[in-house]
Structure 1
Amino acid sequence: MTVALMWEARATAGRGEELLTWVREQPLADAPLRRETFRAPQDRVLVITWWDAPYDAELPELPEPDPELVTRAVHRWRFETVAEG
């Protein structure tokens, strides 16, 4: 099964590039199958990692950034792949 972990944060005004740099520098304890980083308006940063693991597996996640760097707590979601059709 493939599990996708999503991590999304919104930087404080004008600090989007700093948050993006911070996210890129964060290592994970294990290597995922895939890791992608996205940005969006309002200084939002999204990271999705894909893992070959059961849905409820204990997986490494990105930490919370310093509170001064973000406007709120990080949002986290976990998804599993479903068969097409």
Structure 2
Amino acid sequence: MRVALMWEARAAAGRGEDLLAWAREQELTPAPLRRETFRAPQDRVLVITWWDADLAAGLPDLPDPDEELAARPVHRWRFESVDCA
């Protein structure tokens, strides 16, 4: 089964590049099958990781950044793949 973990945070004012750099530096052990990092308006950073695991599996996830980097708590979601093209 393929599972995607999504991690999304909004940077504190003026800290968008710092949050992006911080997210890119975070290592996951074991490593996911795939990992992508995105940025969006309002200094938001999104990291999606793909795993060959069950939806409820204990998988490593990015931690919360230091309080001075984030404008609000991190949002996290898990998705189970139902179609693959």
Q: Which of the five TM-score ranges fits, normalised by the shorter chain?
A: over 0.9
CA RMSD of aligned residues (A): 0.9
| Structure 2 unaligned residues grouped into runs of 5+ | none
Aligned to 2:17: 17
Aligned-residue offset at 1:83: 3.4
Aligned to 2:41: 41
Moved more, 75-84 or 1-10: 75-84
Identity in percent? 75
| Distance (Å, rounded) in 2 between the aligned partners of 1:9 and 1:40 | 10
| Distance (Å, rounded) in 2 between the aligned partners of 1:83 and 1:23 | 28
- 1:14-69 CA deviation, whole Å, 9 max, x = no partner? 11000000001000111101000000000000000000001100000000000111
Amino acid at match of 2:20: L
**Secondary structure in structure 2 of the residue aligned to 1:67:** coil
| Distance (Å, rounded) in 1 between the aligned partners of 2:42 and 2:75 | 15
Amino acid at match of 2:5: L
TM-score (norm 1): 0.96
Aligned to 1:30: 30
Aligned to 2:78: 78
| Distance (Å, rounded) in 1 between the aligned partners of 2:64 and 2:16 | 15
TM-score (norm 2): 0.96
Number of residues paired by the alignment? 84
